[in-house]
Structure 1
């Protein structure tokens, strides 16, 4: 095999320090872009105490805002999964970034609960960036390493939510110290920063990435058989797609919920300052720098030793342990114990994220984008549903976390039960090559 042919193939190993070749260039650009999408998506979360005070929001309205922030993402992820299979991840990402930057920059124009809610809903579409990131990474890496590559890219991207919790209060404070705005309105100007960054990333992504190692969709010959069948229908007809969507709702869905409410919880429940609460919430997100990738690494090794069945068992175990950890977090009597228990359940949660998307590419190799989109949408649907717990005036945040813990553990057990009971139906083996979007 000559050098040219090798350059056109998915990579069989992940060297995070490499930057040459379309595969690694795309890998680094896609996780970095996803990082800033997550940063923009949850940039307003640590500033919600300021927004709540200025717009006079009650608990129910804050809960509605939390729900809105993840709701639009559900449909957007389904759409982006299909677009990845048709127009390619490069154009799909560029379009998403350009459109998503608009509400991020303009949310500061909100002067009422209703207008803020609509902007928060619109910002949620950039959460679909995850589907494109996972799809694009799956195109660039071979089956033996794709779980690890997906998990590292997803984890480093998810890190943007944690960094946003840490950095955005400081960005707002910087504008105040420079005299550009008062503290009450600092959140308005601060949100312009991530919006501008998203526009910059749109340009970089369009210019420096390609759809596959062999080139962009427009420039390569592709087999349209799967398009005739309908990749979306292929994904929907497979029960494993729905099982993974349920699992992802129990891990990623909980993650983005905590990204939304953690700062408020630490302020209200433990009396932390805005900056301190943002830092504590940021610790939860910061664990993505290694935990999601660790889940993918363990899943890939488990897959090589025990096959896809081993990955499913691993996913079930992660979810059960995550649920138990969340229950302990809800009952923590002090800030110190809350932080410790948060770190424990965060580890299993993020490893479950990585494990889930180590399975996704093997469900149906002819519809990777659509499967990825449905599973990703399942994560946001989970977040939307648990969001109703946090808007209820009868249920405290700590009680909501307790319910969530029980629910997640139950889903973990259900995942294992279904996989034991339902007969196998043509699942792609771990060594099966992935289709380059039907190439």
Structure 2
């Protein structure tokens, strides 16, 4: 798992730290591209005469493809390595930025935004890359830094792109600004490909024995694997329903999409069975087994943490504006504080996990986040605004730290399947966001916060059922050789 002494030299730019910095920058660029439309939406709406429903549809489409893309990219990264797959993803999404920037109709914008949801899958690739280079005792901190710093890409888009658009000026300012993000992605694809390797010198890059689905090691795990995929299709079905509610597709088209999703799920079940026929032909060697419950519990925890984070970030400015009657600009700043805390909390959660144990750290931090949201649900206009902001930032710290803990554990389940496992867990972050935002559209804000708190509390209870990662991991090479990987 890469060599490395006890010291974590963040400011170093050699060896594994070079790989860490180049990889979080790749994630940063992919998020910059993914959210390059958000700060320019009002200008785009005005330029292309879009109605409010069409703008809402663009926001929905931007996250729709990310759910299946994270699963697909997870498979590709396990088979072909993170260096190649990250470079290709940045190249493709860079090209799609040009497609978006040249769009002259709502239909072209919608297709470009849907396809650019693929950029959100970049996160999964770096999880595997970092796990190849850092020892387990530093893995949580390294993955937390990767996630925390990479997430700033969306904030950088919000700050820089409106300035760029104004600098270019004219009706096409937004086109130049979004096009520049495409150039950045394409240039960085080359930098990343040249600058990193998949593993340290002398290390083996373990690949799955079969492609097309996650390998499981028992009949029960096979059933659980089939079940865990259902919410992914449910989230896509829900997104399609939202588009139909905006009257942009007919009910018959919606039924067609739903039928296609059912057929796709059945096709995936067949593929999963073909990958896992071994578990029906006899028991898998005890040494090679891993427990799929680990994947399920971490998926639930990530849906509760990152899912609620995405949902809350989108509604907090309006919450502060309506509750405390503050100006729009100040409400935006107060809402942004929630996301800003994530930059520090993800590495903190990873470090806590490295230091105090994976299972216990995750359970405690989830419990803290659940209590935080229970507190947020009691906020009224009578509260001093400073106390409300402090409660919100405290909740955000527990939430981001718990998310950091999740990805401190993901690479310690099965090395050769890390990309696919990260893909499933990462997809559940988006599923959680879809679920929470749907709940938000039906209930009061206080109820919304209570639903989040209750979901996180369930995840905290489930975390107690996790197994602490073992000191060694068994991998089987393509020639059948069994190799023990030390996890220290």
Higher relative contact order (CA 8 A, sep 6+): 1
Aligned to 2:13: 19
1:199 aligns with 2:193: no
Closer, same or farther in 2 for the Cα pair 1:361/1:257, shift >3 Å? same
1:374 aligns with 2:415: no
Closer, same or farther in 2 for the Cα pair 1:221/1:15, shift >3 Å? closer
Matches within 5 A, 1:25-64: 25-48=18-41, 55-58=50-53, 64=57
SS of corresponding position for 1:55: coil
Q: How far apart, CA to CA, are the structure 2 residues paired with 1:142 and 1:78?
A: 25
Alpha-carbon contact 1:31-1:154 (below 8 Å) kept: yes
Q: How far apart, CA to CA, are the structure 1 residues paired with 2:119 and 2:297?
A: 24
Aligned to 1:245: 299
Alpha-carbon contact 1:10-1:142 (below 8 Å) kept: yes
SS of corresponding position for 1:405: helix
- Partner deviation per Cα, 1:129-159 (whole Å, 9 max, x = no partner): 1111111000001122112211111111123
Aligned to 2:71: 78
Alpha-carbon contact 1:321-1:409 (below 8 Å) kept: no
- Partner deviation per Cα, 1:180-231 (whole Å, 9 max, x = no partner): 126xx7555433333322222111111111111127xxxx87666x414987
Q: How far apart, CA to CA, are the structure 1 residues paired with 2:324 and 2:110?
A: 27
Match of 2:411 among 351, 355, 361: 361
Match of 2:372 among 311, 325, 343: 325
Alpha-carbon contact 2:136-2:354 (below 8 Å) kept: no
Alpha-carbon contact 1:143-1:432 (below 8 Å) kept: no
SS of corresponding position for 2:151: helix
- Partner deviation per Cα, 1:367-425 (whole Å, 9 max, x = no partner): 222212211112122122223235x3x44556534433332233323433x44xxxx6x
Q: How far apart, CA to CA, are the structure 1 residues paired with 2:99 and 2:319?
A: 26
Question: Which piece of structure 1 moves more, 369-378 or 114-123?
Answer: 114-123
Match of 1:211 among 181, 194, 198: 198
Question: Which piece of structure 1 moves more, 372-381 or 275-284?
Answer: 275-284
Q: How far apart, CA to CA, are the structure 2 residues paired with 1:436 and 1:263?
A: 51
Closer, same or farther in 2 for the Cα pair 1:222/1:38, shift >3 Å? closer
Alpha-carbon contact 1:150-1:354 (below 8 Å) kept: yes
Aligned to 2:339: 285
Alpha-carbon contact 1:295-1:350 (below 8 Å) kept: yes
Q: How far apart, CA to CA, are the structure 2 residues paired with 1:147 and 1:82?
A: 22
Q: How far apart, CA to CA, are the structure 1 residues paired with 2:348 and 2:477?
A: 27
Alpha-carbon contact 2:90-2:119 (below 8 Å) kept: yes
Aligned to 2:162: 172
Closer, same or farther in 2 for the Cα pair 1:140/1:108, shift >3 Å? same
Q: How far apart, CA to CA, are the structure 2 residues paired with 1:186 and 1:281?
A: 27
Q: Which residues of structure 1 form unaligned runs of 5+?
A: 1-7, 304-310
Higher gyration radius (CA): 2
Aligned to 2:264: none
Alpha-carbon contact 2:78-2:416 (below 8 Å) kept: no
Question: Which piece of structure 1 moves more, 133-142 or 74-83?
Answer: 74-83
Aligned to 2:396: 346
Alpha-carbon contact 1:250-1:411 (below 8 Å) kept: yes
Q: Alignment length, in residue pairs?
A: 401
Q: How far apart, CA to CA, are the structure 1 residues paired with 2:173 and 2:302?
A: 35
TM-score (norm 1): 0.79
Aligned to 2:463: 415
Aligned to 1:307: none
Q: How far apart, CA to CA, are the structure 2 residues paired with 1:116 and 1:273?
A: 31
Alpha-carbon contact 1:328-1:341 (below 8 Å) kept: yes
Alpha-carbon contact 1:67-1:388 (below 8 Å) kept: no
Aligned to 1:227: 209
Aligned to 2:260: none
Deviation at 1:292, TM superposition (A): 0.6
Q: How far apart, CA to CA, are the structure 2 residues paired with 1:408 and 1:85?
A: 30
Alpha-carbon contact 1:327-1:405 (below 8 Å) kept: yes
Alpha-carbon contact 1:45-1:260 (below 8 Å) kept: no
Q: How far apart, CA to CA, are the structure 1 residues paired with 2:377 and 2:147?
A: 27
TM-score (norm 2): 0.72
SS of corresponding position for 2:67: helix
Question: Which piece of structure 1 moves more, 77-86 or 347-356?
Answer: 77-86
Aligned to 2:151: 158
Q: How far apart, CA to CA, are the structure 1 residues paired with 2:69 and 2:304?
A: 19
Deviation at 1:85, TM superposition (A): 1.2
